Homo-oligomer: A and B are copies of this chain.
Amino acid sequence: MNVGIIGLGLIGGSMAVDLRRRGFASHILGVENERVNAEAALKIGLADEIVPLEECVSRSDIIVLAIPVGAAVKLLPQVLDMVKESDKVVIDVCSVKEAMCQVAQGHSARSRYVATHPMAGTEYSGPWAAMPGLFDGRACIFCDVEESSPKAVKLVEKLYDVLNMRVTYMRSDAHDMHVAYVSHISHITSFALALTVLDKEKDEKHIFDLASGGFSSTVRLAKSSADMWVPILGLNHDNVLRVIDTYIDKMKEFRDAIDAYDEEKIRALIEEGNKIKRIIR
């Protein structure tokens, strides 16, 4: 099967690696506007060819939009225009889904589009960040599948089965609320932590000599790229704001308990937080 991948970064590139070595893709056509990324993707062997968008769509059986969500929202209708008269399938892999589904709504080729969110990644980006096995064992969310043709959904399920993902089905609005809690807020708390500590570093040059494993894991996501995150925060604006406000409230509750040094209250907050053990290993 010919697979077209628009955007050969961390997600698109990692998909290319496993779809090829596991036999799903016989030929991979990449679209990559950044010249350096295109050359790197070819050199690493992520794609067989880098081609213009129109050629990629016309020669591929399945087309993957793996670009930041702001660009994907604009590109999806154009790609759907190109696949109207065919049984080609189009998917995206963005972490905001309601805006994607809205922009496709009513399009004559809507049924050819399947909205998916493979929940895997690292804090790195670009073709250099692509890696085998990135998706193995992780969750992939399909949104609003009743808008897609059953045949298209089936093909995309097969694709994610090859990537060893567990597929979950959800309304796109529910998806966006959920990811605000379990993904987007984690990035924002990391960015704020990085900003807090970098700010202090201006006066204290050696502060980071002490940075330990705990700090590294908590701040890791602050390495994530602005290109990816600026549009996410715009397109999942309402959910993200709601979570930030809850988060600030919780932080203030903690702050005030520490300020008053209310031992019982601090203990209660920590022990409530400890319940996260139920959920993560």
Chain A interface residues toward B at CB < 8 A:
119-123, 138-139, 141, 168, 177-179, 181-183, 185-200, 204, 207-226, 229-230, 233-234, 237, 240-241, 243-248, 250-255, 258-259, 261, 263, 266-267, 269-277, 279-281
Query: By the criterion CB–CB under 8 Å, are A270 and B191 in contact?
Result: yes
Which partner residue on chain B sits nearest A242 by CB separation?
Answer: B200
**Chain B residues near A224 (CB-CB < 8 A):** 270, 274
A245 contacts across to B, CB distance below 8 A: 255
Complex contact B254–A191 (CB within 8 A): yes
Interface centre among A224, A229, A255 (most CB of B within 10 A): A255
- A263 → chain B, closest Cβ, in Å? 6
Question: In the assembled complex, which residues on chain B have CB atoms less than 8 Å from the CB atom of A208?
Answer: 182, 279-280
A276 cross-chain contacts in B, Cβ below 8 A: 194, 197-198, 219, 222-223
Separation in Å of the A186 CB from the closest CB of chain B? 4
A245 → chain B closest CB, angstroms: 7
B139 and A193 contact, CB distance less than 8 A: no
Q: Is the pair B200, A215 in contact by a Cβ cutoff of 8 Å? A: no
CA distance A248 to B226 in the complex (A): 21
- Are A194 and B275 within 8 A (Cβ)? yes
In angstroms, Cα B274 to Cα A209, docked, is 18
15 contacts between A and B (CB under 8 A): A123-B214, A139-B209, A178-B207, A179-B210, A182-B215, A185-B193, A191-B270, A195-B253, A198-B273, A229-B266, A230-B266, A230-B267, A237-B261, A244-B254, A248-B255
